[in-house]
Amino acid sequence: MKTIIVTGGTRGIGEGVSRVLADNGWTVIAVSASEAEREAFEPHESITLRHLDVTDATCVSNLFDGLERLDGLVNCAGILRRDAEYDIEVFQQVIDVNLTGTMRCCLAAHDLLAASGGAIVNTASMLSTFGGPLVPAYSASKGGVAQLTKALAAKWAEDGIRVNAIAPGWIETEMTGGLRADAARTEGIMVRTPMKRWGKTSEVGALVRWLLGEEASFVTGAVYPVDGGYLAV
Kindly give the residue spans of alpha helices, DSSP state H, lying in the chain: 12-23, 35-40, 57-65, 88-95, 101-116, 136-156, 177-181, 183-192, 201-212
Give the span between the Cα atoms of 105 and 108, in whole angstroms: 5
- pLDDT over 70 percentage in the chain: 100
Q: What is the mean pLDDT of the chain?
A: 97
* pLDDT given for residue 179 in this prediction: 84
Residue 47: strand pairing partners? 28
pLDDT digits (tens, 9 = 90+) for 149-199: 999 999 999 999 999 999 999 999 988 888 899 999 999 999 999 999 999
pLDDT grade for 94, boundaries at 50, 70 and 90: very high
Domain positions in the chain: 3-232
Give the span between the Cα atoms of 226 and 224, in whole angstroms: 6
pLDDT of residue 17 exceeding 90: yes
Active-site annotation, residues: 138
* pLDDT given for residue 92 in this prediction: 98
When pLDDT is averaged across residues 226-230 and rounded to a whole number, the result is 97
Can you say whether the dihedral through the CA atoms of 100, 105, 108, 112 is positive or negative? negative
Across 170-204, b (16+ Cβ under 10 Å) vs e yields bbbbeebeeeeeeeeeeeebbebbeeeebbebeeb
Beta strand 119-123 with 162-168 is: parallel
pLDDT of residue 1 exceeding 90: no
Distance of CA 150 to the CA centre of its chain: 15
Taking alpha carbons only, the member of 92, 220, 106 closest to residue 153 is: 220
Residue type, 202: S
Q: Which residue has the higher pLDDT, 172 or 1?
A: 172
- pLDDT over 90 percentage in the chain: 96
Q: Which CATH superfamily is domain 3-232 in?
A: NAD(P)-binding Rossmann-like Domain (3.40.50.720)
* pLDDT given for residue 176 in this prediction: 86
Kindly give the residue spans of alpha helices, DSSP state H, lying in 24-135: 35-40, 57-65, 88-95, 101-116
